[in-house]
Structure 1
Amino acid sequence: MEDPPHGSRARRQEQARRVGAFLTAVATAAGYDVRRRQGGRAQLAAVTGLSLTTISRTLDGKTLPLPSQLTTWATVLNLDHRRMLVESGLIPEQRGPQSVEKDVVVASVLSAQEAMDAWGITDPIIRKTLGGSITQAIQLQEELDAAGDWGWSLWGEPGRTD
């Protein structure tokens, strides 16, 4: 039997261990003593706004952080978000657009479905959500383009003053 589209349980557990090891190393390098009962985990909980249980389960590799939690970790530990995702093993180095120029090329050539395939997004719920967001963004951009310089007024910004 094939793994479900979002990955097997063993794969997720391995990812959680890799992320936990990475965040433990980075937090330690940032001056947090995250060994049990040393105070660093409680300090991280205080500065991230995450619970001590969430911090501990993440560092121990028992659970994968939510995307919003990864953003919080990156901000608190002063990490580049992409670097954190790559170095923790959540995404491979080559996945996704690498530059603004490539973003433009990808967006003009690929459909939303093809882009999600290229980026390795396989979870059906994430694909549906992202696909809807992309479709809505394209429609909004078309409306702005059709409105010309007056398009900014759609967002509460001042329109053209000439």
Structure 2
Amino acid sequence: MEPTAETKETPAQRFGELVADLASRIGLDLSPGTGNRILFAERTGMSHSAVTRMLNGRTLPHPAQFESIAREVRCDVRDLFVAAGTISEDAWPKQDEPQALTPYGAVQALGITDPLIRHMLMSGIELALRMQNEAATLPT
């Protein structure tokens, strides 16, 4: 796949970076050696090697897998189709859907202004997300 004129990135590179960024935002570390890539592969119906190639920006997954990928990284599947270059931004107008709530967004939405309480709440949420993701990688 050829790089686009605007970004000099290939669609596969944009796609891999987007998935890694979205996963990171929800506390899912897809770095090599964490075990999360294997779990991600199982949950999306991809092979471990396909997940690795996708995250490294070497290949795009099959479009039939976009929906399960979007579910795992909690994004609109439209964003994956746009990143892959399958559709343009204008081909599928973005809906006014609420975005995934971040720890920062939670304290903002709750109107918490005290810096110490904000820090404690955000840290607690981030810890809970990490613990949940670590528990998901443990063998059953």
Q: TM-score, normalised by structure 1?
A: 0.48
Instruction: Look up the equivalent residue of 1:40 and give its one-letter code.
Output: N
Query: For 1:35-114, what aligned pairs fall within 5 Å after superposition?
Result: 35-86=31-82, 88=83, 90=85, 91-93=87-89, 95-96=90-91, 98=93
5+ residue gaps, structure 1, are: 1-8, 100-162
Q: What is aligned with 2:2? A: 10
1:10 Cα offset (Å): 2.5
Amino acid in the other structure paired with 2:43 = V
Check the 8 A contact 1:18/1:61 in 2, yes or no.
Answer: yes
Contact 1:33 1:39 in 2 (8 A): no
Bigger relative contact order (CA 8 A; separation at least 6): 2
In 2, Cα distance between the equivalents of 1:55 and 1:92?
24
Name which of structure 1's ranges 49-58 and 77-86 shifts more when overlaid on structure 2.
77-86
Change in CA separation of 1:11 and 1:78 when aligned onto 2, cut-off 3 Å:
same
Deviations 1:113-145 (A, max 9, x none): xxxxxxxxxxxxxxxxxxxxxxxxxxxxxxxxx
Superposed, 1:14-29 pairs within 5 Å as 14-29=10-25
In 2, are the aligned partners of 1:32 and 1:41 still within 8 Å (CA)? no
Higher helix proportion (structure 1 or 2): 1
Which sections of structure 2, spanning at least 5 residues, go unmatched?
95-140
Q: Distance in 2 between matches of 1:66 and 1:89?
A: 10
CA RMSD of aligned residues (A): 2.3
Q: Distance in 2 between matches of 1:92 and 1:28?
A: 25
Secondary structure of 2:2's aligned partner:
helix
SS in 2 for 1:10: coil
Give the length in aligned residue pairs.
89
Kindly tell me: are residues 98 and 33 of structure 1, through their superposed partners in 2, closer, same or farther at Cα, counting changes over 3 Å?
Answer: closer
Overall identity of the aligned pairs, in %: 29
